[in-house]
Chain A
Amino acid sequence: MKQTEKEFAALVQEQKSTIYSICYMFSKDKDEIDDLFQETLIHLWQGFEKFRNESKIETWVYRVTMNTCISMDRKEKRRGERIPLAVDIDLFDENDKDMEQVQMLYKRIQKLGLFDRAIIMLWLENLSYDEIGEIVGISAKNVSVRLVRIREQLKKQ
C-alpha cells in the first residue's frame, strides 16, 4: 500500500464511526447507509490528496460527509454499482438495550429537516457553534438560533 493510501485508511479507521453515524441519520435502510458511506469515502478519497490542512481534518471530514449526505438525498439516491463494505452491524435490525436508545435518537433526528439534521449531528459531535457554522455555511449566531428552534421542535414531539 502507498503512503497516501495508508494515511487515508488510518483516517477512515479513525473517523468511521462519525461518518457512519451521520450516514445512518440520513438513511432509511442499511443499503442506503452503505450507499452514502461508500459515496462519502469516494469523495473523501478524491479530496484527500488535495487537502492542504487549511482547516482541521475532522472539520473537512464533517463537511464532505454532510455535503454527500445532503446532496445524495436531494438527488434521490443515484445508485450505481455498489462496493460492499464490511461493516457487519445492521443498525435497523439490532435489538439490544443500547439499540433502543440509538433508535430513539434516529427517530428524533428523522423528524428534522435536512439542514437541521446536519446542525444537530454536528452539535452532537461536540463541535463549537463556530465550527458548525463554518461547515454548514452560516454564522455562529445563526447556529445558536437554529439550535434553540430544534430544541423546541424536539420538545413538541
Chain B
Amino acid sequence: MDELQEMREQMAALKEKLNKQEVVNDRLIRDVLNQKMKVINKNGWFSSIAGLFVITFGNFIFYQMGLSTWFLIGTTVMMIFCVAVTWISHSWVNSNEIANGDLLRVAKQAYRLQKVYKNWKYIALPMILAWGVWLGLEYTAIVQDTTIVLVTMSGGVVGGLIGGIIGFRQNKKVINELDEMIRYIKEISDLDEENDKEEKGV
C-alpha cells in the first residue's frame, strides 16, 4: 500500500482514539471559582467591617446619647453574632481547597454557605426589627420633644431602608455567585461521570 494512504489510515486510528477524550481545563475552572469566591469574601469583609464599626463607633454614639447599658450590650451581642456567623460560614469554602482539593467537597461547602445566605433574611429581619423597636423605645424615653423624635426616627427609617436594600442586593449577589460556582462544579462532575461510564462501557 502507498505510504501516504497508509498514514491516512493510521491518522484515522489516532483521531478515533482522541475523539473519545473529553478536554476539560481543570485549572481554568478552578481559577474562575477562586475569582467568584474572592467576590463573595469581599462581601463578607465588608459586612464584618460594618459590624465592627457599629460595635465601636455606633456604641460610642449610643453611649453619648444616653441609651441604656443593656441596649449597648444587646447591640454588641447582635453584631458579634453577625460577624461570627459571617466569618465561620465564609471559612467553610477554602481557597486552597478550590485550587487543589476535591471540587465536589467545595460544591458541598458552597451549598452550605449559600443556605446561610438564603436563610439569613429570616434571622436578620426580625433581629433588625426588634433592635429598631428597642432603639425607638430607648430614644423616646430620653428625648421628650415629639418633633425631634419624629425627625430622627424618620431619618432612621429611611437610612434603615437604604441599608436594607443594599444588604438585600449584596445577599442576592452572593447567592447568585455561589449558584454559578455550584453549577460549574456540577458541569465538570457530570463530564467526569460520563467519561467513567464510557470507559466502563455503560
Residue positions of A touching B, CB distance < 8 A: 12-13, 16-18, 20-21, 24, 41, 83-89, 91, 94, 98-99, 101-102, 104-105, 108-109, 120, 123-126, 147, 150-151, 154-155
Contacts and interface: CB of A to CB of B under 8 A. Distances in A.
Report the 3 A-B pairs with minimum CB-CB distance, sorted nearest first: A17-B18, A105-B10, A83-B27
B11 A85 contact: no
B7 A120 contact: yes
B145 interface: no
Contacts of B10: 101-102, 104-105
A85 B8 contact: no
A85 B25 contact: yes
A124 B21 contact: no
Interface residues of B, number: 24
A124 B3 CA distance: 12
B39 interface: no
B27 A84 contact: yes
Contacts of B26: 84-86
Interface of B: 2-4, 7-11, 13-19, 21-28, 195
B25 A83 contact: yes
A90 to B, nearest CB: 11
B18 A151 contact: no
A151 B23 contact: no
A2 to B, nearest CB: 11
**Interface residue SS majority, chain A:** helix
A102 B21 CA distance: 16
Contacts of B11: 21, 105, 124-125
Contact of A98 (B17, B24, B25): B17
B7 A83 contact: no
Contacts of B195: 88
Contact of B18 (A20, A84, A120): A20
Given A24-B14, A105-B7, 6 more contacts: A16-B21, A17-B15, A17-B21, A87-B23, A102-B14, A147-B4
12 contacts: A17-B14, A21-B11, A21-B18, A24-B14, A83-B25, A83-B27, A84-B26, A86-B22, A87-B23, A102-B17, A108-B3, A126-B8
A87 B21 contact: yes
Given A105-B7, A151-B3, A154-B3, A13 B18 contact: no
A154 B3 CA distance: 7
Given A102-B10, A104-B10, A83 B28 contact: yes
